[in-house]
Structure 1
């Protein structure tokens, strides 16, 4: 009921607030004997943590993951895995000026109306700080998927009006190296340079800007996804739309497909080295809600960050017109840090559906 858990067989529950003592996650359903690489988990968290560069918030959090249970001698035991991530650099005073004001396009008003109480310090539970817990859980899901030969790659493909060209995705490892070579995490170096300049320009103007993240999944077997309401693309869409600031999700041809004819859009089946494939991939690797063995391809759109360093009109809790000023430390554009969150949520969905497929196969 409370909406703090995600998944079926591989299920996570996150907890904590932006300015509380800690955030964390409990992972239930992780298979036993999975090698839990704590350095890898930390490296994933490092990609999301604040204070990375001039184009991210300057809040300083080491985001050190503490595994409290479910791991013995470096391997999962099959029991719940609990991970705690302490908060270290809270500046609650930065939010005292908005204790009774509703920030435009934030969750202040809706939380107040729903619960009759809200933690105004950084948005409390509605803060994107919560996503660090998802990244920790997603890292463990990635470790599981790695044992099955499944790869996930995301990168920033657009910031504002700037879009990267279509990439050659034949070598995802190379694209990952290119992505991590620049602070905006775009796998096209020329576009990355333009994006960084644009974000810095927007930041200096006290404003924010949105962007898009493109994702490719390779090595997925045929059969992941359930009829009718747990279709694979439906669960991926729910996962992406649960991320703070996400306003759009499309897979395969997406909205462009609505402009095409069936004769153009249909993915024709062919035999390739004895395997069934399709000549094109407008379906984005999913047909009838079930993976067809082709690459899973989707895009996630992020809105501009709601907090801007400019005065704005708003209302207070009494319903009086007032002015609000942006203060504190905030991202001018979230997409560079959100890349790893998108990958984490993708890994959680795929791990859950992989285990569901295995359970179905065992029943046959």
Structure 2
């Protein structure tokens, strides 16, 4: 199975299956001499942990991270060697999947894996399960620490903006949202009234054996100008790849996104201006979402992500098996009625991985600091 690694200079490989002994990651390219805060890594993992509220799967995993390599045992600093982080699985219930051994679950990866490999981990979905994202979040927590050590004002914040038809977009000021506000409600929507309505809708779907999807919003403050590579490795392309590689993510919108065509070119353009500080370039609007020509321009990154409803529902459904029979499927087991609350830290982690990789690639090309951090660019 190929394609288990992500990134270039800051490269992450995830490993493990949903019902295997453990999941985790190996990080290549993390700079040496960084004092890694393992408590912060653990806190990041706990934000995506199952069983944290009645809105998510009741699978009871502690998700305690172990460091197998890459840290100095005395100082806790990174050595510059591969960092291996592992989380042991503790609450697998493979018997819940016994009836699905030969049946393809609707809108899951089961058939695709069989068609590609001729074998699949039918217990819990193997690596197609969202359990795989444990390694991504652990690596993203490391990446965020590396980034904020270099860029102290950098701040990555994602939140639930819409669940099904309940949309909080018009009532939230995205520039003021904090992680603390987002984590203040189990839905991870920072608007109290909308969060309560979303909770009611998710619980109703759960009670009915159904599921809901929706939108996440992502803002990244303090991004330096100059990140991203022209042409094929544009920053927005890398972010889209990162997000679309997540289970259930089906779309990414950058800046004005699909509403951009409602404006004319003159209306849509973001006009540059110096703000008095010779290092402070900004734009009067941010319809580009902080990225132009595939390169960050110093404005906040602004993206929206679409997540489909969880594919596993507890209602009977028609399906097919691997013997050529059309059958009925009655799903059981423990699943998220809505993936959005736990997707928030996963999206933040993937964002940190992309930005850390882009920073190290940029530093390798032109050094650190680079021209874009030195003030007005000279001809």
Which of 307, 310, 320 is 1:315 aligned to? 320
Are 2:274 and 2:281, in contact at CA under 8 Å, matched by a contact in 1? yes
- TM-superposed CA distance for 1:170, in Å, is 4.2
Q: Given the alignment of the two structures, is residue 326 of structure 1 paired with residue 328 of structure 2, yes or no?
A: no
Q: 1:152 aligns with which of 131, 153, 156?
A: 156
Work out the CA distance in 1 between the residues paired with 2:367 and 2:271: 31
Contact 1:178 1:189 in 2 (8 A): no
Please tell me whether residue 37 in structure 1 is matched to residue 37 in structure 2.
yes
The CA deviation at 1:171 is 4.1
Aligned to 2:233: 230
| Total equivalences in the alignment | 362
Q: Distance in 1 between matches of 2:248 and 2:96?
A: 21
Looking at structure 2, the residues matched to 168 and 335 of structure 1 have their Cα atoms a distance apart, in angstroms, of 19
Unaligned runs of 5+ in 1: none
| Deviations 1:22-81, CA, capped at 9 Å, x for gaps | 011000000011121111111111110111111100100000100111011221111100
Question: What are the Cα deviations for residues 98-141 of structure 1, in whole angstroms up to 9, with x where unaligned?
Answer: 00000000000000010001110010111110001100000000
8 Å Cα contact 1:145/1:151 also seen in 2: no
Unaligned residue ranges in structure 2 (runs of 5+) = 371-379
TM-score (norm 2): 0.94
Deviation, structure 1 residue 273:
2.0
Which has the larger displacement, 158-167 or 22-31? 158-167
Provide the residue aligned with 1:140 in structure 2: 142
1:71 aligned counterpart, secondary structure:
coil
Cα deviation, 1:68-98, whole Å, max 9, x if unaligned, reads 1101122111110001110000000000000
Find the counterpart in structure 2 of residue 14 from structure 1.
Answer: 14
| Separation (CA, whole Å) in 2 of partners of 1:166 and 1:276 | 28
Q: Match for 1:268 among 257, 271, 288?
A: 271
Distance in 2, Cα, partners of 1:317 & 1:170: 50
User: TM-score, structure 1 length as denominator?
Assistant: 0.97
* 1: CA distance, partners of 2:220 / 2:366: 22
Q: Distance in 1 between matches of 2:231 and 2:288?
A: 17
Deviation at 1:199, TM superposition (A): 0.3
Q: CA deviation at 1:168?
A: 2.9
1:166: Cα distance to partner? 4.8
* Paired residue secondary structure (1:75): coil
Separation in structure 1 between the aligned mates of residue 24 and residue 257 of structure 2, nearest angstrom: 34
Separation in 1, partners of 2:268, 2:133 = 36
SS at match of 2:137: helix
Q: Take 1:152 and 1:75, find their aligned partners in 2: how far apart are those partners?
A: 23
- Distance in 2 between residues matched to 1:35 and 1:280, nearest whole Å: 38
CA RMSD of aligned residues (A): 1.2
2:171–2:191 Cα contact (<8 Å) kept: no
